[in-house]
Structure 1
Amino acid sequence: MPDTQNNTSWFEAVFSDITVTHNTSSNEIVFTDIMAYGLELNYLSSPYTNIVTSYVAPVLIFITIVTNTLVVIVLLKKHMRSPTNVYLVGIAFSDMFTGFPVLAAWLYFSAMGNDREYVPYDWCFAYRITTYLIPLIFHTASIWITMALTIQRYIYVSHGLKARRWPCTNIRVIYCILTIYVISILSHLSEFISSTFKPIEVTSRVDPNQTVITCFEVFNTWVADGVDLYFTIYFWFRVICINLIPSIVLVVLNVLLICTLRSAERRRMLLLKRNERRLSMKLKESNSTTSMLVVVVSLFLLVELPAGMFTFFVLIENTFEIDIIAKGSFSIITTTLNTLILLSFPLNICIYCGMSRQFRTTFKQLFSGHCFTIN
């Protein structure tokens, strides 16, 4: 029986009810008393969190899958294809697959009643990637695609001459989105290889007279040698590159786009006075697309900024060992912020229908079956 000693790390302050021990003989950090894979995580056991994760979140995810599937179908129609719409397809696809793996895990474990028992050892890694890693990768991609779209739109409306010199074609946007997906995977690759799962035999939750094989998570040696350093680097990278930088860029560009819209509207009114209706109509359509993007980005910032700031304060609190967030409130705040993010996903289709005549017309045609052409 190896000697163990408590190994207090900053990430324990986040998961304050999880016991962490350091195996001095094998230099491994071992989670015990854990239920994400087999034993209950106390920070997820509040009634509020259980209600939201068991009933509210699955419904929101299902609605997102349905609405975003419709968005993708509409935007991939031949007459709808444009660089901006290709970016919107990338965002819709990313948001859809942020939730889909979680819904699949919920259907197997909760809806089918398998959550009454510990997670089987063979399912531990699958549970981790479906409820954490895959959603994290796709949500990261969604954030970066949104930033890329906003940058592209700002260049198009504010620096038209440069945009014409280096035209943003559909194929270039596709390459950009694929590159973002690759970078998103690489940015979280360490989480795939930072730990492994070990089997452990425990008393069954369903039948106390039986035992089942579940698992516990063990950090690999390269992480166990410097747990604090690893989590500090990884989570600060997430906060800076995935939350703060994109949010700052989007806030600045959104303000610039609003200023550009006002200037463009004045030009449009001048064109109308000169009776140049064709140019005025073209500018109106461009302004409509830009206005829609401003609303989409504003909604994005409304839910992402609080989540990013919360993560930032958690890191400040644990890096510098200061009290900012009330103890016991972590799960409630995290659950609320994640729910707001999920709620924002299906709202995009409402924005598209409300602010884009072309999208609205095409969307209606999906249910009427009529063939048509929109100039």
Structure 2
Amino acid sequence: MEEGMFPEDYMTRNSTEYFLYDDPRNTDSLLTQWNKMYRKAHGYVSGVICIFGLFSNIVNTIVLTRKHVITPVNCILTAIAVVDGLKMSDNLIFAVYFYMSKELKWESNHSFAWIYYLLIHINFSIVCHTMAMLFTVYLAAYRYMFVCKNETGSRKYGVRQTTIAIVIIGTSTILLCSPYFFLYQVEKVSNMSDSSQAYWYSYSDFALAHSVYVVILFWSYSVMKVVPCIILMFLITRIVMAIHHSNETLKRLQKSSRLPNRSGIRQRNQTSYMLVIVVLIFVITEMPNGILIFISSFSEHFFVEVYSNLGDALDILALLNSSVNFILYCLMNQQFRETLRRLIKFNFVGN
């Protein structure tokens, strides 16, 4: 979840200041009580995950960019690792300040600089999430063409074309997410109890003047979550079916003495299974967020009572998704393990 994607406080405008108050509908339901209790530990939990995720994605990038392992699929996995690593570093800063040092509340008397960073964090998270999602769709589509359509091409051609596609996807994502950059602005706020000055964020003047702009962004945000997940489910279903067919064919051919490149077929299926798991984990962690946002677009009460209280849990799911690929590669990809072992051995002997 992009923390703070939609303001949870309701604001009343008075001159150049905002007076904020808690929504009276936010009663202490069981979900609210759980959120308040877990929120105290969320910063530390997410911080640990971010540190591991940052380290693991750096290792992924180093291993996957070795000359002898560069393939179109590994180029896409490298792009995902770079985006996830950037996301981990940003979320680590976010967790340290807004959860460990202070609270993500307007009453915490935040400085202008930190609230400005919060807006950068919100937009940066949206871009990274969307970019990682589109890279994952591209990964699944590429594997689908390879397994189900037998479209391989030369390695050099495939790597070149894949790199161009990655650049196009990355650039298009920034343009696609650019409308979100103008949704919020930093505002000076006054605490109604002691009149102390601080800063928080609110809808921008443009957003307040064009309510349809906010509605469109809200809907598009849910669509960007749900639609790619549906596409991914379709693609991985077809890939699994193709792998199953390949395994059945392999079993039939095992009865024959002539079975060329049997190890190659098994290795290809093993790689496909690994990529299917990578995509499936992405769907499992992203789909709930998209569904909850979609429901929230019909019910403001659901957004306040359910989605807002589940925000930290959804955030942990997204962070886990960006951190587990290293473990999957080590468990399921022999070439990755061998390359990593050689790098460790080379550095150890070199020192």
TM-score category (smaller protein) = 0.7 to 0.9
C-alpha distance in 2 between matches for 1:47 and 1:108: 18
Residues 345 and 77 of structure 1, relative CA distance in 2, 3 Å threshold: same
1:68 corresponds to 2:52? no
Q: State the secondary structure of the residue aligned to 2:12.
A: strand
CA–CA separation in structure 2 for the residues paired with 1:350 and 1:114: 32
Does residue 171 of structure 2 align to residue 194 of structure 1? no
- Pairing of 1:99-248 with structure 2 (within 5 A): 99-107=88-96, 118-130=109-121, 132-160=122-150, 162-164=151-153, 169-199=158-188, 214-217=198-201, 219-227=203-211, 229-240=212-223, 242-248=224-230
**Alignment correspondent of 2:297:** 315
- Among 280, 299, 320, the alignment partner of 1:298 is 280
Question: Contact 1:150–1:253 (CA<8 Å) still a contact in 2?
Answer: yes
Distance 1:199 1:60, change over 3 A: same
CA contact (8 A) 1:83 1:168 kept: no
Quick one: which amino acid aligns to residue 142 of structure 1?
A
**Cα deviation digits, residues 18-63 of structure 1 (max 9, x gap):** 232256x89xxx754289xxxxxx9899533422432111111111
CA gap 1:345/1:328 in 2 versus in 1, 3 angstroms: same
Q: What residue number does 1:333 align with?
A: 310
Deviations 1:274-326 (A, max 9, x none): 444542222222111111111111111121111111111111224xxxx6x38
Of stretches 213-222 and 65-74 in structure 1, the one that deviates more from structure 2 is 213-222
Q: 2:18–2:187: 8 Å Cα contact kept in structure 1?
A: no
The alpha-carbon distance between structure 1 residues 110 and 312, as it changes in their structure 2 partners (threshold 3 A), is: closer
In 1, are the aligned partners of 2:144 and 2:235 still within 8 Å (CA)? yes
Taking structure 1 as reference, are residues 49 and 135 closer, same or farther at Cα in structure 2, changes over 3 Å only? farther
- Listed one character per residue, the Cα deviations across residues 250-280 of structure 1 (whole Å, up to 9, x for unaligned) are 1111111111001111233344444445422
Alignment check: 8 A CA contact 1:31 1:216 kept: no
Q: CA RMSD in A?
A: 3.3
- Out of 337, 354, 359, the residue aligned to residue 331 of structure 2 is 354
Identity of aligned residues (%): 21
Q: Which of residues 301, 317, 340 in structure 2 aligns to 1:363?
A: 340
Aligned counterparts of 1:44 and 1:263: Cα–Cα separation in 2: 50
State how far apart, in whole Å, the 2-side matches of 1:214 and 1:291 are. 52
* Alignment match, 1:21: 12
- Secondary structure of the residue aligned to 1:169 is helix
Cα 1:55–1:93 change in 2 (3 A) is same
Is contact 1:288-1:355 (8 Å) kept?
yes
Output the CA distance in 2 between the equivalents of 1:245 and 1:65.
28
> Does the CA-based 8 Å contact 1:49-1:332 persist in structure 2?
no
Aligned to 2:83: 94
Aligned letter for 2:176? S
Q: Is the 8 A contact 2:54 2:85 kept in 1?
A: yes
Q: Which has the higher contact order (CA 8 A, sep 6+)?
A: 2
Q: Give the AA of the match of 1:226.
A: H
Q: Any gaps of 5 or more consecutive residues in structure 2?
A: 1-5, 23-27
Q: TM (normalized to structure 2)?
A: 0.82
Partner of 2:3 in structure 1?
none
Following superposition, the deviation at residue 85 of structure 1 comes to 0.8
Q: Distance in 2 between matches of 1:250 and 1:168?
A: 25
Kindly state the Cα deviation for residue 238 of structure 1 after the two structures are TM-superposed: 1.6
1:253 has 2:235 as partner: yes
Asked whether the 8 Å contact 1:94–1:142 carries over to 2, the reply is yes
In structure 2, how many angstroms separate the alpha carbons of the residues matched to 1:336 and 1:314?
17
